[in-house]
Amino acid sequence: MKNELYNKSILITGGTGSFGKAFVRYLLNLKKKDAPRRIVVFSRDELKQFEMAKDISQEKYSNIRYFLGDVRDKPRLNIALADIDYVVHAAALKQVSISEYNPMEFIKTNVIGAQNLIETAYLNGVTKVIALSTDKASSPINLYGATKLCSDKLFVSANNLKSEFKKKLTSFSVVRYGNVFGSRGSVVPAFLKQIEKNQLEITNKDMTRFSITLKKSIEFVYECMFKSYGGEIFVPKIPSYKLLDLAAAISKKCKIRIVGTRPGEKIHEELISEHESEITYDVKTHLVIISEPSLGKIYLKNGAKKQKINESYNSSQNKVFLTTNELKKLIEDYKKQLII
């Protein structure tokens, strides 16, 4: 895998979030021959930037920069993207229940913010943009998922931008994966708090979820940066787990209380819909959704295989499920702060 990042500049939107901070650390730990010349953390929360800058300071890391701004603010984004070669777009509003009652706020950040990034990246001559998505973007039933599906479509479609005046066109791709185990807002920290009350709250006893560690998500995004041609939605092959198994892994002594599904919540998550299966290619370690036929031919030539048609990739029908012991190990790692 050719490393294109050496001596280049990279900007991470939402750079002070769980993924952003971990991805920055990953970049800072690269060998000298692979390291970017400049890493720009772009986010709107001054407190998070202040706290992150105390830990990852410019005094200690000469190639780190902090840029306060919001993806909703197109002129500010345009300034931030000057002399940037690569962008990882992690900025988003993500809480499903909150999205149902504040839809326009999610649209402003997740949809309009995405389009702002597309336009400013294109005009600034950025080489590649990798946008992070979610399993909730596949066959969405909640507002958050709908905004991320719209965002995915915008980024894929952006590869159609053409100009006879531009020698270098920006490549746009998407990485879509499931719940990051132990991340903020996930069920793991919620369960660990509920142990004190000797009762774990589960919305539905049949519920399943995809799972990916933060380390795995970072490595996959980094890998996709160099594999992308532009126009793909990359999907990792990841395991599922049952909520009841997770509850058992956390504590077998606690009572289970079924509270019912929340607004916009699915029983099972989906990474690739039946409709998308028609344009999905299997590349051994991961899957790629491709809407451009000519790009599909390139993948087939490189050894990819067409996915089965009319078969969704969802958390209930997954071939790999985490066992209770495997979940216990992930929980212990989470407690040791190896994953968060």
Give catalytic residue positions: 136
From CA 281, how far away is CA 297, in angstroms rounded? Answer: 10
Chain centroid to Cα 130, Å, comes to: 9
Return the amino acid letter for 118.
I
Element (H, E) at 140: none
Residue length of the chain: 340
Closest CA to 57 of 49, 69, 45: 49
What residues contact 159, with CB distance under 8 A and at least 6 apart?
171, 172, 230, 231, 292
In this structure, what token pair is assigned to residue 251? 């504590």
Residue 251 near residue 244 (C-beta atoms within 8 A): no
- At 287 the three-state DSSP class reads strand
Element (H, E) at 281: strand 280-283
Burial class (CB in 10 A: 0-12, 13-18, 19+), 54: exposed
DSSP alpha helices (H): ranges in 139-273?
143-157, 187-194, 214-227, 243-250
What residues contact 196, with CB distance under 8 A and at least 6 apart?
none
Angle (CA) 133-148-317 rounded to 5° is 65
Chain centroid to Cα 99, Å, comes to: 18
Residue 225 near residue 130 (C-beta atoms within 8 A): yes
> What number of CA atoms fall less than 13 Å from residue 73's CA on the CB side?
14
